[in-house]
Amino acid sequence: MCEAMCGLAIEVDGERILSIRGDEEDVFSHGHICPKAVALADLHEDPDRLRRPVRRRGSDWEEVGWEEALDLVADRVLEVQRTHGPHSVAVYQGNPTVHNYGAILFGQMLLRALGTRSRYSATSVDQLPHQLAALLMFGHQLLLPVPDVDRTSFLLVLGANPLVSNGSMMTAAGIERRLRALRARGGRLVVVDPRRTETAALADTHLAVRPGTDALLLLALLQVLFAEGLARPGRLAAFTDGLSEVEGLARGFTPERVADRTGLAAADIRALARAFAAAPSAAAYGRVGLSTQEFGGLCQWLLVVLNVVTGNLDRPGGAMFTRPAVDLVAIADRIGQRGHFAKGASRVRGLPEFGGEWPAAVLAEEIETPGKGQVRALLTLAGNPVLSTPNGGRLERALASLDFMAAVDPYLNETSRHAQVVLPPVSPLERDHYDLVFHALAVRNTAKYSPPLFAPKADGREDWQILHGLAERIASRGGRRGLGSRLGSLAAGRLGPRGLLDLLLRLGPHGRGLRPWGRGLSLRALEKAPHGLDLGELEPALPAALRTSGRRIALAPPLLVADLARLRSRLDAPDPGGGLALIGRRDLRSNNSWMHNSARLVKGRERCTLLMNPSDAAARGLADGERVRLRSRAGAVDVTLAVTDDMRPGSVSLPHGWGHHRAGTRLSIAGARPGESVNDVTDELEVDGLCGTAVLSGVSVEVTPAAVPADVVR
């Protein structure tokens, strides 16, 4: 459930969990864990967690058997498709999918069986810009460089808070220790964030940037590097196109030109550029705060450019590519999924597709707007878009208007309460685990397989079984499948995720192939190494790993270059100034929206508070601890104010994943400490105009005392 892949040592007595600790012998995490690991026990034992499928009966729910539930969902979905066409059924895949290899493998099968173009996921409220940059620059959406934290001399972090998130798209269990080690060996840590975060507090330098302006900062860094002759791509130059073009593009963006807009001193920007260039090795790294902003696409591009121009891409201590036991890049190649962008435009708003998905920000309007292709039914797979996508309020109203909805989810929560059928998978301790995705994003190459701790209850189904069951029914009853894919699906069902994993391991870069014996990885080999296998440090992989034609880095992809015009015109327009910009926040004991039903994770003081700088509070006559109303064009919530000079003036912060007060959910603990959903305030109409990623950082808001009646259009 977490990207850090911490090894756990769980002590049990029969069915009872006695303790959960960090596995000291884990080859990657060396004993590190955080409170969420311990909460796995709560999740497993949670009486609110659904054990059997449930079906709506009026305002109530009744348990039904698996066959009946799967039949029902398949039949209703096919009925909607027959009446309104294949694309009238939408699918939303949520974040826990990527932590569940069975769900990844068999989710693909369900999508194929459905044959719908109405696909959505958490990607467009998260890492889409990373993948876009990878696609356009390296020729593959999964060629994602990872900062080599353990060897770098300089880590520049923009819009990420790894001390709390445990590191994201940088799997690095025990990241605090790793960052302290970086400083102890004389390296530098610089954090760019509107809030003095836990990570910023540990850094040598914290630059409190104005939300949504990082693209300007990155351009100014590049401008300094080129102007001062500090651009030294080294060996990368031999296979990089567009260096001089990028130099030209950065020219106008001097530190002085962007200082006011970014809220940073020109001297600080210049000093940062020089220090980054002078470091023996350096890595620029940016995550959610950098991606989910108005110019998130530009940001993730310019970040890679910074690494390339300073020669830090693909070198030890820089930003490197992994060589995981299961090679996702190669698999995606095989099935023709290098990625694509803007091959189509969404029906209502015309936003671009990415990798065959529409931005989550258009889901509500695609449900609401009549016409050919209107979404009439929805399947959510491990997702809670009501709390996690912008303007969740509007989405909720849209969900209520669907002809049919089903959720594959262990909880009756803010989203699944709108379904007619909920299909709950077993608990994470009742299924096996291999990290298909996060081994591929880890700061060291390792591999680990964990068998299920408990046998599933007789009536329990894993995600893959649910997805396979649906896919089989939909494909056979829909009659929309040839013999080839029928056999494929049959074989996959036979092999199950374990069999498929064994194949992937064997055929991967460290695999033993299909020989029954010999050296190299197989599932058996991993089963014999419960603490994981170390496969070595990250190694240079370019240019061979590139998937562009001629295996060259495209430093100035035309689509990204073109988007600079949007940024330039924003810079040339008068500074809107004055107002408040809303940004997000995570904390160690939350996991997006869905772990607040664990008492140990929600106890203690209230965490869903709005952080505000003292000067902004004083200007509005607001006091610490007061109830305030936070509002935007999209909606309003009342929350408790926490006044702190950790916030940069002009910015306020509210965490996401709260708002558990809605009627009809089955979340007794979460419901008692509900908080409010920040995504009732974020705006589905505010997206990165390039790629449709939601703007979750830098939403313009007002804050008033809660007593003032809301005059917002809801």
Q: What residues make contact with ligand MGD under the rule CB under 6 A?
A: 3, 94-96, 100, 122, 125-126, 158-162, 164-166, 168, 192-195, 197, 209, 211-212, 214, 287-290, 293, 381-385, 388, 408-411, 413, 425, 463, 583-584, 586, 588, 590-594, 656-657, 678-679, 682, 696-698
**Who contacts 515 (Cβ-Cβ below 8 Å, separation ≥6)?**
none
Residue 536: count of CB within 10 angstroms of its CB: 10
Give the whole-angstrom CA distance, residue 328 versus residue 306.
26
Mapping DSSP onto H, E and C, the string for 584-622 reads: CCCCCCCCCCCCCCCHHHHCCCCCCEEEECHHHHHHCCC
Residue 163 tokens, joined: 């001390």
Residue 497 tokens, joined: 């995720």
The distance of closest approach from Cβ of residue 288 to Mo ion in the complex, given in angstroms and rounded to an integer, is 6
Q: Nearer to ligand MGD by C-beta: 197 or 312? A: 197
Binding mask 353-382 for Mo ion (x = CB under 5 A): ------------------------------
Q: Nearer to ligand MGD by C-beta: 288 or 546? A: 288
The distance of closest approach from Cβ of residue 274 to ligand MGD in the complex, given in angstroms and rounded to an integer, is 20
The distance of closest approach from Cβ of residue 383 to ligand MGD in the complex, given in angstroms and rounded to an integer, is 4
Q: Nearer to Mo ion by C-beta: 126 or 435? A: 126
Backbone angles phi, psi at 652, to 5 degrees: -130, 155
From the list ligand MGD, Mo ion, none, which binds 89 (C-beta under 5 to 8 Å, kind-based)? none
Residue nearest to ligand MGD (CB): 289
Q: Which stretch binds Mo ion (CB under 5 A): 122-130, 225-233, 247-255, 291-299?
A: 122-130
The distance of closest approach from Cβ of residue 681 to ligand MGD in the complex, given in angstroms and rounded to an integer, is 8
Give the whole-angstrom CA distance, residue 344 versus residue 706.
43
From the list ligand MGD, Mo ion, none, which binds 543 (C-beta under 5 to 8 Å, kind-based)? none
From the list ligand MGD, Mo ion, none, which binds 100 (C-beta under 5 to 8 Å, kind-based)? ligand MGD
Q: Nearer to Mo ion by C-beta: 114 or 170? A: 170
Residue 624 tokens, joined: 């610490």
The distance of closest approach from Cβ of residue 94 to Mo ion in the complex, given in angstroms and rounded to an integer, is 9
The distance of closest approach from Cβ of residue 625 to ligand MGD in the complex, given in angstroms and rounded to an integer, is 22
Q: Which of 440, 379, 372, 391 is nearest to 170 (CA)?
A: 440
- Residue 420 near residue 404, CB atoms below 8 Å: yes
Cβ-based burial of 498 (10 A; exposed 0-12, middle 13-18, buried ≥19): middle
From the list Mo ion, ligand MGD, none, which binds 383 (C-beta under 5 to 8 Å, kind-based)? ligand MGD
Q: Nearer to ligand MGD by C-beta: 533 or 669? A: 669
Q: Nearer to ligand MGD by C-beta: 98 or 555? A: 98
The distance of closest approach from Cβ of residue 503 to ligand MGD in the complex, given in angstroms and rounded to an integer, is 23
The SS3 of residue 258 is helix
From the list Mo ion, ligand MGD, none, which binds 193 (C-beta under 5 to 8 Å, kind-based)? ligand MGD
Side-chain half-sphere exposure of 139, counting CA atoms within 13 A: 17
Residue 240 tokens, joined: 């990089």
From the list Mo ion, ligand MGD, none, which binds 301 (C-beta under 5 to 8 Å, kind-based)? none
From the list ligand MGD, Mo ion, none, which binds 598 (C-beta under 5 to 8 Å, kind-based)? none
From the list ligand MGD, Mo ion, none, which binds 682 (C-beta under 5 to 8 Å, kind-based)? ligand MGD
The distance of closest approach from Cβ of residue 152 to ligand MGD in the complex, given in angstroms and rounded to an integer, is 17
Q: Nearer to ligand MGD by C-beta: 137 or 408? A: 408
Question: Within positions 75 to 114, which residues make up the interface with Mo ion, using CB under 5 A?
Answer: none
Give the whole-angstrom CA distance, residue 97 versus residue 215.
31
The distance of closest approach from Cβ of residue 3 to Mo ion in the complex, given in angstroms and rounded to an integer, is 9
Q: Nearer to ligand MGD by C-beta: 609 or 697? A: 697
Q: Which of 446, 437, 450, 440 is nearest to 29 (CA)?
A: 446
The distance of closest approach from Cβ of residue 604 to ligand MGD in the complex, given in angstroms and rounded to an integer, is 15
The distance of closest approach from Cβ of residue 170 to Mo ion in the complex, given in angstroms and rounded to an integer, is 13
In this structure, the dihedral spanned by the alpha carbons of residues 668, 432, 111 and 168, taken in order and rounded to 10 degrees, is: 70
Give the whole-angstrom CA distance, residue 449 versus residue 431.
11
The distance of closest approach from Cβ of residue 407 to ligand MGD in the complex, given in angstroms and rounded to an integer, is 8
Region of residue 5 (phi > 0: left; psi between -120 and 50: alpha; otherwise: beta): left
Q: Which stretch binds Mo ion (CB under 5 A): 123-131, 257-265, 553-561, 697-705?
A: 123-131
The distance of closest approach from Cβ of residue 550 to ligand MGD in the complex, given in angstroms and rounded to an integer, is 33
Q: Nearer to ligand MGD by C-beta: 353 or 646? A: 646
Residue 519: count of CB within 10 angstroms of its CB: 10
The SS3 of residue 310 is coil
The distance of closest approach from Cβ of residue 363 to ligand MGD in the complex, given in angstroms and rounded to an integer, is 11
Q: Nearer to ligand MGD by C-beta: 165 or 281? A: 165
- Residue 357 near residue 123, CB atoms below 8 Å: yes
The distance of closest approach from Cβ of residue 122 to Mo ion in the complex, given in angstroms and rounded to an integer, is 6
From the list Mo ion, ligand MGD, none, which binds 584 (C-beta under 5 to 8 Å, kind-based)? ligand MGD
Give the whole-angstrom CA distance, residue 652 versus residue 643.
10
Q: Nearer to ligand MGD by C-beta: 523 or 681? A: 681
From the list ligand MGD, Mo ion, none, which binds 448 (C-beta under 5 to 8 Å, kind-based)? none
Residue 657: count of CB within 10 angstroms of its CB: 24
**Who contacts 484 (Cβ-Cβ below 8 Å, separation ≥6)?**
none
- Residue 357 near residue 120, CB atoms below 8 Å: yes
**Who contacts 234 (Cβ-Cβ below 8 Å, separation ≥6)?**
311, 315
Q: Nearer to ligand MGD by C-beta: 209 or 441? A: 209
Q: What is the DSSP string of 555-580?
A: SS-HHHHHHHHHHHHHHHSPP--SSE
- Residue 208 near residue 191, CB atoms below 8 Å: no
**Who contacts 558 (Cβ-Cβ below 8 Å, separation ≥6)?**
none
Q: Nearer to Mo ion by C-beta: 45 or 587? A: 587
Give the whole-angstrom CA distance, residue 348 versus residue 291.
24
Q: What's at 361, amino acid-wise?
A: A
Q: Which stretch binds Mo ion (CB under 5 A): 38-46, 76-84, 118-126, 427-435?
A: 118-126
Q: How many residues contact Mo ion, by CB under 5 A?
A: 1
Give the whole-angstrom CA distance, residue 197 versus residue 209.
12
Place of tokens 């006044």: 643
Q: Nearer to ligand MGD by C-beta: 557 or 659? A: 659
Per rule CB under 5 A, is residue 3 in the interface with Mo ion? no
Q: Which of 272, 249, 246, 275 is nearest to 259 (CA)?
A: 272
Q: For Mo ion, which residue of 3, 23, 26, 126 counts as binding (CB under 5 A)?
A: 126
Q: Which stretch binds Mo ion (CB under 5 A): 102-110, 119-127, 642-650, 667-675?
A: 119-127
The distance of closest approach from Cβ of residue 588 to ligand MGD in the complex, given in angstroms and rounded to an integer, is 5
The SS3 of residue 517 is coil
Q: Nearer to ligand MGD by C-beta: 34 or 308? A: 34
Q: Nearer to Mo ion by C-beta: 188 or 656? A: 656
Binding mask 685-714 for Mo ion (x = CB under 5 A): ------------------------------
Give the whole-angstrom CA distance, residue 690 versus residue 223.
23
Give the whole-angstrom CA distance, residue 623 versus residue 659.
23
Which residues contact Mo ion by CB under 5 A? Answer: 126
